Amino acid sequence: MKVFLSADIEGTTGITHWDETTKSKQDYEYFAQQMTREVEAACRGALKAGAEEIWVKDAHESGRNINPAKLPENVKLIRGWSGHPFSMVQELDESFDALMYTGYHSCASSNFNPLAHTMNSSTIDYIKLNGTICSEFLLHSYIAAYLGIPVAFLSGDKGLCEEVNNLNENIVTVAVNEGIGDSTVSIHPELATKLIKEGVEKALKGDLNKCKIELPDEFELEIRYTAHTMAFRNSFYPGAVQTSPKTIVIKTIDYFDVLRAVLFLT
């Protein structure tokens, strides 16, 4: 079995403030360690389920957060950013048996995590796909659907876990925190790693075919910016139409067009 894990930080247990996500800040180091521990737990669970090859994408900020020495020997770690439109699941292809996530968070404009955002938190108010507010989970899980790969597991905040299970109830989720306004209620870090390890093992031993996500036949991508100047500039992207002072829309039948637009416009 060959599995892919995409790891973010804003959905790790305990995390509450942007300073805890930023390399240059004093509070960062502990949460980078916890991000690593949760990734390690997911990898250990995958090994118990029979995974022979595990690829991990460090998908937060610089892509240089996870301590490689803490991971099992059969893990390949992707650090940094190549610039490919697959972004947070860079190197994912049809050879993988399952896609998993740790440390993921709710979408921009939601009320389920103080750190809720979608892609660029400083310039994007929200991203919608076919009229639905889009999380980074959904954006990248449609890549799995594009490739025919099941989405087996996710850990993160409670709001995102509910979104995931509304999309497909067979995906195993572990909620490690819950956002309430500008605060969080989190489970103990050791309990988080225990539940993640057990959850991944359960997910990969289950019927992965039931974890596939259906890809829509066509797409309407709507991006709302925090500044009207960004919408005006990006309205000159091929196929983009400015529909309000801060909003552009792109319509396509090819999901790769959506990913390319997100790469260049967010």
Active site residues: 117
- Is there a binding annotation on residue 217? no
Alpha-carbon torsion angle 133, 35, 77, 265, nearest 10: 30
Locus of tokens 């980078």: 32
Return d(Cα 180, Cα 44) in angstroms, integer.
31
Angle at 231 between CA 226 and CA 233, to 5 degrees: 130
Residue 34's identity, in one-letter code, is Q
CA dist list (Å): 112 to 86, 169, 207: 25, 19, 30
- Is there a binding annotation on residue 105? yes
Q: Return the structure tokens found at 72.
A: 């099992």
Return d(Cα 93, Cα 4) in angstroms, integer.
9
123: left (phi over 0), alpha (psi -120 to 50) or beta: alpha
Beta-bridge mates of residue 224: 126, 247
Return d(Cα 245, Cα 58) in angstroms, integer.
35
- Is there a binding annotation on residue 136? yes
Which residues contribute to the annotated binding site for Zn(2+)?
8, 10, 60, 105, 136
Residues at the binding site are 8, 10, 60, 105, 136
